[in-house]
Amino acid sequence: MRHFEDFAVGQRLALAPFHVTAKEITAFAAEFGSLPGEFDPAADGALPAASGWHGCAIFMAMMCRAWLCEAEFLGSPGVDKVRWQRPIQAGDRLGGFSEVIALRPSKSRPELGIISFRHSVTNAAGDIVLSLDNPAMVARRPMTANGPAAGADDRAAAS
């Protein structure tokens, strides 16, 4: 499992690829609705577009599948800034990355560190469709008197 110590400023973690289908957009809109202004019909033609909040959920899935669910992730207090930069449409093949902007150990909770990410979701043309600035809490590697203890993966590799 990836701990706080395994991240570095400037590091880029790829998001998992995600193929957006009309069926998925329709299913999300059927359960959670959509807002009339979320995409510009004149600009977008007849292709169904995902709502902005659906886009955020898709981003979360891309991050979980790529790396977040494999890290000692302890949750996030929220998201500082999100920009819906371009529509996400049926047929889009999305990619992107999470970049480490800053990191610091928590002063109040020595067992974890705070990592500031800038996430960018891109379409096949390489345009950013969605960007998110987001701090996350990640567990630090457990300490021993001699420094950081070996992680579970390290122990497994040594045995």
Partner 1 sequence: MKFFDDIAIGDVTEFGSHTFTAEAIKRFARTYDPQPFHIDEAAAAASLFGALTASGWHTMAVMMKLIAAAGGPLPAGAADGADCARLGPSPGFDDLRWLRPVFAGGTLTYRATVTGKRESRSRPGWGVVSSRFEAHEATGEKAMDVIVHDLVELQSKVV
Interaction between residue 32 and partner 1 (CB under 8 A):
yes
* Min dist. Cβ of residue 112 to partner 1 (A): 10
Nearer to partner 1, 30 or 125 (CB): 30
Interaction between residue 35 and partner 1 (CB under 8 A):
yes
Report d(CA 150, CA 155) in Å as an integer. Answer: 6
Residue of 19, 24, 41 lying closest to 124 (CA atoms)? 19
Query: SS3 of 104, please?
Result: strand
Contacting partner 1 (CB under 8 A), which of 1, 9, 14, 69?
69
- 119 close to 125: Cβ distance less than 8 angstroms: no
HSE of 53, CA atoms in CB hemisphere, 13 A: 7
Interaction between residue 53 and partner 1 (CB under 8 A):
yes
Interaction between residue 152 and partner 1 (CB under 8 A):
no
Please give the residue ranges that form the binding site for partner 1 (CB under 8 A). Answer: 28, 31-40, 51-54, 56-58, 60-61, 64, 68-69, 73-84, 87
